[in-house]
Structure 1
Amino acid sequence: MRLAAGWIGGLALLAGLGVGTGGVAARPAPVVDGPKLVLAFFYCWYGPTSFDQGQMSDRPAPPYISDHDDVIDRQIRQAQQAGIDAFIYSWMGQGDVTANNFPKVLAAAQARDFKLTLYFEVDAALRRGDMAQQLRDLITKYSDHPAFLRWNGKPVLFFWRPEAYGDPAAWRRLRQQIDPDSALLWSVDTVNANYLDAFDTIHFFSAGKWRADTDVGAVHKQWRAVTDRYNRDHGTQRRWVAGIIPGWDESRVRPARPNAKVFPRQDGRMYETAWQAAIDSNPELVTITSWNEWFEGTQIEPSATYGNLYLDLTRTWVARYKGQTLPPLPAPQLSPNQCEVMNGYRVCGKFLEYWKQHGGLGQLGYPISDERVEPSLTDGGKRYTVQYFERAVLELHPENAPPYDVLLTQLGAYRYQCKYPGGAPNQRDGAGQPLAFGETGHSVSGKFREYWEQHGGLAQQGYPISGEFEEVSDLDPGKSYTVQYFERAVFEYHPENAGTPYEVLLAQLGAYHRDGTLCPAAAAAGVPAAGCRLAQRALLRLGDPGL
């Protein structure tokens, strides 16, 4: 996890860049251009409780433990399918968990013909021993490994926070001790061009130097020019490595960081803008910040909120960068007996497939029951196999062909009729362009429309069955939120999360249903949940008063 000292905003970071003029290290022999490669910064430090600390803006789907073999293999496979050539593995010094896990990841990479290199985190490594000795040990132990990344035949090393060790002159001396013949390619994260005196490339870990409104196209082009000018002035072959981010959100990290960075993802638009800017700067290599830095919210790994969106975007943009055409990935087909354990419950077969393909943790939440058979809320008491999740109940309908063989129970409609039999008070139309539905006489607009359209629309959320209105939260007593009811969900607007994936949240209808509180009036009167379900069954038809 980066402990950034601050930002240098916008194009101001380009002002006053000096190009080193003295004491240049021995010039490497001229080389021809190597292949275009895409590399992603990778972190192997997550343990059993890492994703349960409330310090992340999103979570992986499902959560994992970094050193598990199946997790490592899955991550490498997904990266390869997205067109990524190698991971830049965060290494925080001898004896650290990242050092202990590196051989395991390297072996897994070799098994899949994938590549790995090291991100030498200078400040952390300095706390664990002598810099020169640690570097010598790493180079001796790993640089000849078949899975260690090479470019133009040279092993590649990346360095973060070079100033923690010293100025460019100090690095020239260090490199002269360790790599006097420039047998390796050294890349450094900096906005000080003088470090090109000691390093072969400059890369940007990206958002540590930028703001959300930075013109990344101008920055990339300027640094392409800085690198080219350095080479002309010194007769060198320094390389430009363009950096890409999907977004950034470190607002939940504790202890709180001063001026915590929050760069909204804009549903992939920030990522695509960064990719285009990188390609326009004609980089030799491209780095992605990051595969899985979840604390800072820069990950492209599949997440609860975005599913596989960023892997799909990566495939598309890698192909453009490399001038390739990648075949489409086949849709995942799960065995009927395939299961995963989450939150202490097994999710299997069709339910697991649906959960993975329809938003996972962010859309449906964790499972909160095993599979069971119970009467339908809306189908004349017919019994179905169901499974409860925090925000939904899934019903298995083997009589239907896919994709209708798994359906969501209409918990939103059920709760609305129980709670507001005469219709909710003080309803209003939302701001923004409305999408109207004559079937129910209601529309959806603004942030709710954006969420509805991006998260399954009619098939997953159902029709809107109310306007927007204020409702006191069941989970946060005394606090009121703007809500809108849909057949299968209740949307809540959270202005405190503006600009994040959590600006619109779903009520935990599955949990309410399991606990017998989905129908508040019935619960208060002591009516069993099953009795309330049967009593309300007839009200769940489109066109009824109040719907």
Structure 2
Amino acid sequence: MPALRRCYAPCRRRATLPVLAAAGAVSALALLVYTWAGCPDCAPSVARPEPRVLTSPGSRPPPRPPTERATDAPLAVNHNVHVFYYAWYGSVAVDGEWRHWDHPYLPNWRREDKRMYPTSAHEPPGDISSNYYPALGCYSSRDPAIIRAHMQQLKDSGVGTLVVSWYPPGMADPEGSPPDAVLPELLDAAHAHGLKVAVHVEPYRGRSPASLAEQVRYLVLQYGTHPALLRMARGPRSLPVLYVYDSYLLPAAAWRELLSPRGNLSLRGTPFDAVFLALLVDVRHKYEVKQAHFDGFYTYFASDGFTYGSTWKNWRGLGKFARQHDLLFVPSVGPGYVDTQVRPWNAGSTRHRQRGRYYGAAWRSALAARARIISITSFNEWHEGTQIEPAVPRPNYLDYEPEGALFYLNLTRSWVREFSRK
């Protein structure tokens, strides 16, 4: 997760540049606006002049990334467009305490970096662990109104499936609360909006093929008949879908015990069989995925070049490999990446949004790879700045201006429409 930067100086998104039009003046005035290098949304790592066109009334507006509004032709949700969703946020009003919005700064894992970085926790609602500020405020993931709002936003964007971060009952990440407790509400709300839900199995304490077999049994028995649970055709059967985060932490031989028809713990051909997707980080993982008998792989990270799997130029080859070996390839596109409000030492992983251009390049790479399923990182991973959920302008935070809070939902809608035509 890259570190967040605060923009303490005026930048192009907030500057007011009056244009004085006189008789006989040209209809458009090209100005060079110097952007400040400290703002990830506004500039690369060094300041440089950037041409910008300001138009006078009646002139043709400058080109912008394509967006669609609610007045456009209806767009059916596409259940082959998945988005990673996090139900780990808590508020004082609903939960009695802040959860995740107050996430502390994490220790620097780069031993060669001897610089000093913040170590304290954040103090919501004014100071939160994100470079962006949510339009819905520092909400609780348990709030029914928030859940309904999220489902409506996803439906409007055309995204058809939430991939919900999940720990077994009673377990959670260090900053959150058990997500299994809210999964029934998410499933019901998703169903009411025509959406599906898949599970993103986190690397919970003690995770092993044997323990995961037990958790899959729990998931199928507890939620397997819910109409919102995503199922995928695999041969004559329709199976639930499980993403397995950090799957590479265990060797292929261990996973083979669970995923091979001949494994000692095998779920294949049983009522608890599923479509299992591994996280591909390194190039060698594609061979290990095949050896382990996973059904496919996904790339997750929204930072192009951060891993082999998240590097867009590798997606055509990964797609070809998947087709040759009857595997699912699920590339993960994202609007950008910045995590310096939790990893202040990780600015090198930042990927600027470039007013939607970065997101568009990721989508085009996924389409060129002929992916049958595309995942989005993320709907609301605010710590890493990968969210497409609406954000609003606020002092010292990044935002989506001048396009507005709904920009990335609208841009997603455009790309979902393009993907659905394929």
TM-score grouping bracket, smaller chain normalisation: 0.5 to 0.7
Q: Structure 1 291/155 Cα, relative in aligned 2: closer, same or farther at 3 Å?
A: same
Q: 1:72 aligns with which of 119, 128, 147?
A: 147
Q: Structure 1 36/242 Cα, relative in aligned 2: closer, same or farther at 3 Å?
A: farther
Give the secondary structure class of the aligned counterpart of 1:85: strand
Matches within 5 A, 1:304-319: 304=392, 305-306=399-400, 307-319=405-417
The CA deviation string for residues 293-327 of structure 1, in whole angstroms up to 9 with x for no partner, is 00111000111122011001000000001118xxx
1:38 aligns with 81
Give the secondary structure class of the aligned counterpart of 2:306: coil
Matched, 1:131 2:220: no
C-alpha contact 2:310 2:332 (8 A) present in aligned 1: no
| TM-score in terms of structure 2 length | 0.62
Q: Structure 1 88/214 Cα, relative in aligned 2: closer, same or farther at 3 Å?
A: closer
Q: State the Cα distance separating 1:209 from its structure 2 match.
A: 7.5
2:327 aligns with 238
- Report the structure number with the largest CA radius of gyration: 1
C-alpha distance in 1 between matches for 2:345 and 2:190: 34
Q: Structure 1 100/224 Cα, relative in aligned 2: closer, same or farther at 3 Å?
A: same
Q: Structure 1 179/214 Cα, relative in aligned 2: closer, same or farther at 3 Å?
A: closer
C-alpha distance in 2 between matches for 1:123 and 1:241: 23
Q: State the Cα distance separating 1:239 from its structure 2 match.
A: 1.4
Q: 1:225 aligns with which of 291, 298, 320?
A: 320
Q: State the Cα distance separating 1:100 from its structure 2 match.
A: 1.2
Give the secondary structure class of the aligned counterpart of 2:88: coil
Give the secondary structure class of the aligned counterpart of 1:126: coil
Matched, 1:190 2:275: no
Q: State the Cα distance separating 1:114 from its structure 2 match.
A: 1.3
The total of aligned residue pairs comes to 284
C-alpha contact 1:36 1:284 (8 A) present in aligned 2: no
Identity of aligned residues (%): 28
In structure 2, give the amino acid aligned to 1:172: R
Q: Structure 1 209/263 Cα, relative in aligned 2: closer, same or farther at 3 Å?
A: closer
Q: State the Cα distance separating 1:260 from its structure 2 match.
A: 6.1
Give the secondary structure class of the aligned counterpart of 2:194: coil
Matched, 1:141 2:222: yes
C-alpha contact 2:337 2:386 (8 A) present in aligned 1: yes
Matches within 5 A, 1:142-161: 142-152=223-233, 153-161=238-246
C-alpha contact 2:163 2:198 (8 A) present in aligned 1: yes
C-alpha distance in 2 between matches for 1:310 and 1:168: 37
C-alpha distance in 2 between matches for 1:135 and 1:124: 16
Give the secondary structure class of the aligned counterpart of 2:149: helix
Q: Which has the higher contact order (CA 8 A, sep 6+)?
A: 2
1:433 aligns with none
C-alpha distance in 2 between matches for 1:266 and 1:212: 21
Q: Structure 1 80/124 Cα, relative in aligned 2: closer, same or farther at 3 Å?
A: farther
Matches within 5 A, 1:292-307: 292-304=380-392, 305-306=399-400, 307=405
C-alpha contact 2:198 2:242 (8 A) present in aligned 1: yes
Matches within 5 A, 1:276-287: 276-287=364-375
Write out the 4+ residue segments of structure 1 that deviate beyond 6 Å after TM superposition: 212-215
1:322 aligns with 420
Q: State the Cα distance separating 1:267 from its structure 2 match.
A: 1.3
In structure 1, give the amino acid aligned to 2:185: K
Q: Structure 1 172/214 Cα, relative in aligned 2: closer, same or farther at 3 Å?
A: closer
C-alpha distance in 1 between matches for 2:310 and 2:194: 36
The CA deviation string for residues 395-438 of structure 1, in whole angstroms up to 9 with x for no partner, is xxxxxxxxxxxxxxxxxxxxxxxxxxxxxxxxxxxxxxxxxxxx
C-alpha distance in 1 between matches for 2:251 and 2:301: 21
1:395 aligns with none
The CA deviation string for residues 467-500 of structure 1, in whole angstroms up to 9 with x for no partner, is xxxxxxxxxxxxxxxxxxxxxxxxxxxxxxxxxx
C-alpha contact 1:217 1:280 (8 A) present in aligned 2: no
Q: State the Cα distance separating 1:199 from its structure 2 match.
A: 0.8
Note the residue ranges of structure 2 that are not aligned, 5 or more in a row: 4-77, 92-97, 102-123, 172-177, 393-398
In structure 2, give the amino acid aligned to 1:45: W
Q: State the Cα distance separating 1:179 from its structure 2 match.
A: 1.7
C-alpha distance in 2 between matches for 1:213 and 1:135: 29
Q: State the Cα distance separating 1:185 from its structure 2 match.
A: 1.0
C-alpha distance in 1 between matches for 2:317 and 2:169: 37
| TM-score in terms of structure 1 length | 0.48
Whose helix fraction is larger, Structure 1's or Structure 2's? 1
1:60 aligns with 134
Q: 1:206 aligns with which of 301, 308, 312?
A: 301
Matched, 1:116 2:197: yes
Q: Structure 1 294/44 Cα, relative in aligned 2: closer, same or farther at 3 Å?
A: same
The CA deviation string for residues 486-542 of structure 1, in whole angstroms up to 9 with x for no partner, is xxxxxxxxxxxxxxxxxxxxxxxxxxxxxxxxxxxxxxxxxxxxxxxxxxxxxxxxx
Q: State the Cα distance separating 1:88 from its structure 2 match.
A: 0.1
C-alpha distance in 1 between matches for 2:154 and 2:239: 23
Q: Structure 1 224/161 Cα, relative in aligned 2: closer, same or farther at 3 Å?
A: same
Give the secondary structure class of the aligned counterpart of 1:240: strand
1:380 aligns with none
C-alpha contact 1:245 1:289 (8 A) present in aligned 2: yes
Q: 1:171 aligns with which of 255, 280, 288?
A: 255
C-alpha distance in 1 between matches for 2:419 and 2:318: 18
Q: 1:180 aligns with which of 268, 274, 279?
A: 268
Matches within 5 A, 1:367-446: none
Note the residue ranges of structure 1 that are not aligned, 5 or more in a row: 4-34, 232-236, 325-547
C-alpha distance in 1 between matches for 2:352 and 2:367: 22
C-alpha contact 2:213 2:267 (8 A) present in aligned 1: no
